Structure 1
Amino acid sequence: MSCQLVAVCFDASQPMRLARFWAGLLDRQIVHDGGGASLPGTDTQLGLRFVTSHAKRVGQNRLHLHLHLTSASPADQRQTVATALALGAAHVDLGQRPEEGHIVLADPEGNAFCVIEPGNRFLAGCGFLGEIACDGTREVGLFWSAALGWPLVWDQDQETAVQAPGGGTKVAWGGPPVAPKQGRNRQRFDLAPPADGHQRSEVDRLVSLGATWIEAGEDGAVVLADPDGNEFRVMRRR
């Protein structure tokens, strides 16, 4: 068995505020843990986690990770946008064109996300949290496919996407050019070893696939970097 993608982890100056925002938008319960707050996922919907960080932002977050929320109808899209704004979101102009149909917003700490228009075929059947859209090369998409044991569901023009065998949230990479890395990413993946495996053996497997060792954290998690240099954590199984 491969490791499990447990959550997308966000650095935050006020993690509880951010957790409350996303809990209200995604209709999930907040679970408190020693290092922050989590919104557990399901077999088909990825979890989110928010941890305290007072590090100053340096340039653009290289991972450039966006959450994409799906819509069942135009009215549903409008309702999601209205709910997000009421919870503290703001409109963001990233150069999107009106005819593209999606609405770009930012959460209370400036993390951009999109509310996708209804009828998007690529995200059909993916659930409300339809996609984690990342900046990244084809190589990194292939790495994560092997690391998670998720098949490639898109591989065209240097763009890739993976999805769990049971469906649900997709993780996608937009291909080059990739912005230069400046400091640690404020968003990263949290992995858990497989139920029948151990952290050390899973770390060794990921390194053999192309990951780079960075450090062992005080909480027992091992920090690695994928082939594009994006940090991620392999946690100890509890």
Structure 2
Amino acid sequence: MTSSLFALCIDATSPPRLARFWSAFLGRESADDPDGGGIVLPPADDTGFRIRFLPTDQPKTSQNRAHFDLTSTSPEGQRQTVARALELGARHTDVGQLPEEGHVVLADPEGNEFCVIEAGNNFLAGCGFIGALAGDGTQAVGYFWSKALGWPLVWDQDEETAIQSPHGGSKFTWGGPPLMPRSGRDRVRFDLAPPADGDLHAEVERLLALGATRLDTPGTGTVGVTLADPDGNEFRVLPPVAKSGGAASTRDLGSGA
């Protein structure tokens, strides 16, 4: 069996502040993250995914390779979403968007970019408020993540790709080359989790065979195994953890996508 997407991880110099923003904005409750020392927002249903805010002492210095595309059902709804984000601490930001484009580009309190998409976007119809995690990436990386997660390709044209969980929910999209330059560690990245009865070593070997590369070495003290996808984006495979009568770890909060 393939790994599931355990969480989307976002580094933050102040995880509580960033979690407060996204908790209020998305309408999700937050919880302490004992595994990572940060804060987690569990998914609202089985089409969602956890969002983990993990501590870092490195400030954000460049545009993220991945960002949320948030959907709107009407022009007034788009305006209300933008206004609510600004009230909670977001700001307008310029990533090269054109004046005639209908989406609004904002940044959260730590500068992580996200877009509020105009109403009438058929590609994101039915995907929920977080319509997509839109990434900068090659066709090869879209193929990799489709096989890694077992999610079907729902778009594959002109080197642009998109995948979506069989349960529905947010699409993950990659816009094709050229890739933006990388500056330091990716602040937005995936944590994967094998099934509770799975084998970490076997899953790592499967991902390596699909085109991943290993970034850490055994015995470094890192929880799980850190890999990079074919575009060099860091991600981590966590050890399988089964629920056991006591308090659940963050890997047992919610269902994941």
> TM-score, normalization: structure 2?
0.87
Give unmatched runs, 5+ long, in structure 2.
Answer: 242-257
Contact between 1:159 and 1:172, CA under 8 Å: does it hold in 2?
Answer: yes
Note if 1:49 corresponds to 2:52.
yes
Partner letter of residue 83 of structure 2? Answer: A
Note if 1:32 corresponds to 2:32.
yes
Contact between 1:45 and 1:127, CA under 8 Å: does it hold in 2?
Answer: no
Give the aligned partner of residue 84 of structure 1.
Answer: 85
Contact between 1:221 and 1:233, CA under 8 Å: does it hold in 2?
Answer: yes
Contact between 2:78 and 2:118, CA under 8 Å: does it hold in 1?
Answer: yes
Compute the RMSD of aligned alpha carbons.
1.5
Residues 14-46 of structure 1: per-residue CA shift (max 9 Å, x gap): 011101100111000101112211111232123
Paired residues for 1:1-238 under 5 Å: 1-34=1-34, 35-41=37-43, 42-57=45-60, 60-61=62-63, 64-215=65-216, 218=221, 220-238=223-241
Residues 139-172 of structure 1: per-residue CA shift (max 9 Å, x gap): 0110000000001001111110000112111001
Between the aligned partners of 2:98 and 2:164, the Cα distance in structure 1 is 28
Give runs of ≥4 in structure 1 deviating > 6 Å: none
Partner letter of residue 83 of structure 1? Answer: R
> Percent of aligned positions with the same letter in both sequences?
59
> TM-score, normalization: structure 1?
0.94
Instruction: Classify the secondary structure of the residue corresponding to 1:43.
Output: coil
Give unmatched runs, 5+ long, in structure 1.
Answer: none
Residues 182-224 of structure 1: per-residue CA shift (max 9 Å, x gap): 3211111111112431222111111111111112563522110
Contact between 1:46 and 1:129, CA under 8 Å: does it hold in 2?
Answer: no
- How many residues matched? 236
Q: Which moved more, 1:116-125 or 1:34-43?
A: 34-43
Instruction: Classify the secondary structure of the residue corresponding to 1:204.
Output: helix
Between the aligned partners of 2:86 and 2:17, the Cα distance in structure 1 is 14
